[in-house]
């Protein structure tokens, strides 16, 4: 299957295929795109490969992602699309739900039954042909049977509520001395989720993402 070949092409980068789907007009895939293969990370493997590289640009992870994905896309005759460089943004979370067994968590990011909240998307390969792909398995969201919902009541400044995610309150907190645990170790609400604890990001990776969130270039 071509997906296995694509997976092998990404092996050295720590990136993995995150499922695929056949595009319909409702998916808002650029015209002509018939099959979308999602590429992303789960756990720290991508970070370990990225951390060995030189960082010179303002958005080093985004530049590195392009350096990895663009030649692989060319090799497979696909177009590479990215979740960054918006707005407007490509609807990566919607595409992810089409491609894989992921569902929205109460705090926003999609939850995966094995990786929990410790996964993300770095790109998508779009093909103009209908490739042979597997339909993702669909299991109930782990959040459906979670009774204590620690993700919703752990944030020290209550940034997650029935009104959604209060981004300014979160940013103000992590920029202050009281928010150093979130800034250096990653979002406490995300860390409180019991699913996918084996895939939790390393402190350096968590800190990198939190710094970028605090100060997007």
Residues at the contact surface with ligand B12, assessed by CB under 6 A: 83, 86, 89-94, 104, 107-110, 119-121, 165, 167, 187, 209-210, 213
Q: Which is nearer to ligand B12, 34 or 209 (CB)?
A: 209
CA 120 from centroid of its chain's CA atoms: 1
Nearer residue to ligand B12 within complex by CB, 37 or 107 = 107
Select 83 or 179, whichever has its Cβ closest to ligand B12. Answer: 83
Which structure tokens are listed for 33? 């795109």
Instruction: Give the shortest CB-91-to-ligand B12 separation in angstroms.
Output: 3
Closest separation in Å from C-beta 122 to ligand B12: 6
Give the residue nearest to ligand B12 (CB). 108
Selection from 92, 106, 134 nearest residue 2 by Cα: 134
Q: How far is the CB of 86 from ligand B12 (least distance, A)?
A: 6
Q: CB within 8 A of 86, min separation 6: which ones?
A: none
Q: Confirm if 127 and 33 have CB atoms less than 8 A apart.
A: yes
Say which residue the tokens 């409180």 belong to.
192
Q: How far is the CB of 200 from ligand B12 (least distance, A)?
A: 12
> Which residue, 2 or 149, is less far from ligand B12 as judged by CB?
149
Q: How remote is the C-alpha of 137 from its chain's centroid?
A: 19
Residues 205, 187: contact at Cβ < 8 Å? Answer: no
């Amino acid at each position: 299957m071509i997906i296995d070949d694509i997976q092998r092409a990404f092996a050295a980068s720590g990136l993995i295929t995150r499922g695929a789907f056949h595009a319909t007009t409702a998916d808002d895939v650029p015209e002509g795109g018939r099959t979308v293969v999602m590429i992303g990370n789960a756990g720290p493997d991508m970070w370990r490969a990225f951390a060995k590289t030189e960082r010179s640009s303002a958005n080093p992870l985004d530049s590195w992602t392009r350096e990895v994905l663009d030649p692989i896309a060319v090799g497979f005759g696909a177009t590479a699309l990215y979740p960054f460089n918006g707005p407007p943004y490509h609807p990566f979370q919607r595409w992810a739900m089409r491609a894989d067994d992921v569902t929205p968590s109460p705090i926003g990011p999609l939850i995966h039954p094995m990786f929990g909240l410790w996964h993300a998307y770095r790109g998508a390969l779009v093909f103009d042909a209908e490739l042979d792909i597997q339909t993702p398995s669909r299991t109930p969201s782990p959040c459906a049977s979670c009774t204590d919902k620690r993700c919703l009541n752990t944030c020290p400044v209550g940034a997650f509520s029935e009104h959604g995610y209060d981004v300014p309150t979160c940013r103000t907190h992590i920029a202050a001395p009281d928010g150093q645990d979130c800034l250096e170790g990653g979002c406490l609400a995300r860390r409180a989720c019991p699913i996918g604890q084996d895939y939790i990001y390393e402190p350096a990776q968590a800190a990198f993402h939190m710094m970028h969130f605090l100060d997007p270039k």
